Amino acid sequence: MTIFIGADHRGFELKNKLMEYLQEKNIRVEDMGNYTHDPVDNFPEFGKKVALAVSQQPSEFFGIAVCGAGIGMSVAANRVKGVRAGLCDSIKQVEHGRANDHMNVLCLASDYLTFDEARSLVDTFLSTPMKKDEKYIKRAAMLDE
């Protein structure tokens, strides 16, 4: 399993904590930036980097993109073919997005989540299988057309 993770300045601290948590679980994590806290950086750069990395093998790779509200990262990531990014703040949303919508990039809002909440969302994201029913596969393919 490979996870690509990126964040702007508002998500920087949460990204680093999540990276440490995932590495402690022996999960391969690739940091897509930002690598330093830069108060004037821009979320589209990091959302795009995560999405492009995931798009290389969208059914195998996972992405996590963090910014203040999570919305910007979701918008940026969803511009890349093969990426299905979702902003989630509840376990039920993550389960639905992963299983039904074949979400491969989890977007998180650092301004509204504690580390423990974000960790639970990430754990759910990584452990929820995608449904293999034809209708879910067809819908995911339609998004890429």
Between the alpha carbon of residue 85 and those of residues 4, 36, 70, the distances in Å are 13, 24, 10
The encoded tokens of residue 69 equal 């509200």
The DSSP string of 93-130 is HHHHHHHTT---EEEEETTT--HHHHHHHHHHHHHPPP
**124-67-73-19 Cα dihedral, nearest 10 degrees:** -50
The encoded tokens of residue 116 equal 């423990």
The encoded tokens of residue 11 equal 């998500």
Would residue 107 show up in a list of annotated catalytic residues for this protein? Answer: no
67, 105, 108, 121: the active-site residue? 67
Q: Is the CB of residue 105 less than 8 Å from the CB of residue 67?
A: no
Q: Give catalytic residues, as residue numbers.
A: 67
